[in-house]
Amino acid sequence: MPFSEGQPYGQIVILNGAPRSGKSSIVEAIQADFEGVWINLGVDAYVRHITPPRYRPGIGLRPGGERPDLEPLVPRFYAALYASIAAHSRVGLNVVAEFGHHDDYSQPLGILADCAKLLARLPVLFVGVHCPLDVVMQRRLDEGPERQGTYVTVAADMPIPAPVIAWQEQVHRPGIYDLEVDTSVSSPETCAAEIRQLLAGGLRHPTAFERIAQHS
């Protein structure tokens, strides 16, 4: 159905945090409980089902500049995905998407600011999803065999892998958010309820994405 004059834009919720911080569980809670249609356009679906295998992990590249050969494609992947998020909103569909935004590539790429500009004039809530390192490690250890070793191998008798530490250090820079939640003390449903409450009350301007775009 084409966009019609007077039709409201769909709400966009962007969740940002390290792998295993609990973002996907919040997405599930939003899709299950929020009114209206909520489309999940996050990193997991994009990497696992859309990105060709030889270009993975694509937008899921870890901090540290591990694959400079893929880096020229990463801004384009992000631009395409955020353009799709914008398109869904413009036809009145709500979007919830989870990412691990960082700028610790072999050289800074400025992707987050570029993505914020792509959603200019659309209703965006940017949420920082926090989780302490010890809880992240326990979640990694508790994973089933289908997910273990997806990016880095962990074991109870091993030191914390450097990539896991790097995610914790890099993913919340610059740390400008409309809302921050901690999944070590709040359930996915509670985090979703905080998001719902903030949306119901209306966002303060400039929003997080507006500030990020302005200061790039």
- Over residues 121-130, the pLDDT tens digits come to 999 999 999 9
Q: What is the pLDDT of residue 159?
A: 86
In the chain, the domains with their CATH numbers are 12-208 (3.40.50.300)
| Bridge partners, 126 (sequence order) | 14
Contact indicator for 198, 125 with CB cutoff of 8 Å? yes
Residue 115 has pLDDT above 50, yes or no: yes
7-16, 84-93, 174-183: lowest mean pLDDT where? Answer: 7-16
Q: What is the pLDDT of residue 6?
A: 56
Report d(CA 191, CA 129) in Å as an integer: 9
Q: What is the pLDDT of residue 140?
A: 85
Report d(CA 14, CA 74) in Å as an integer: 18
Which DSSP helix (H) or strand (E) runs through 12?
strand 12-16
Residue 84 has pLDDT above 80, yes or no: yes
Q: What is the pLDDT of residue 145?
A: 58
Q: What is the pLDDT of residue 215?
A: 83
Residue 150 tokens read as: 């997806």
pTM comes to 0.92
The sheet with strand 94-99 has its strands ordered as 38-40, 94-99, 12-16, 124-130, 179-182
**What single DSSP character describes residue 189?**
H
Q: What is the pLDDT of residue 157?
A: 72
- Over residues 125-175, the pLDDT tens digits come to 999 999 999 999 999 888 765 554 455 667 667 788 999 999 999 999 999
More confident residue, 142 or 210: 210
Confidence of residue 3 (pLDDT cuts 50, 70, 90): very low
- Over residues 27-46, the pLDDT tens digits come to 999 999 999 999 999 999 99
Q: What is the pLDDT of residue 1?
A: 36
6-10, 69-73, 99-103, 190-194: lowest mean pLDDT where? Answer: 6-10
Residue 189 has pLDDT above 90, yes or no: yes
Confidence of residue 67 (pLDDT cuts 50, 70, 90): very high
For strands 94-99 and 38-40, give the pairing.
parallel
Is the backbone peptide bond immediately before 57 cis, with ω within 30 degrees of 0? Answer: yes
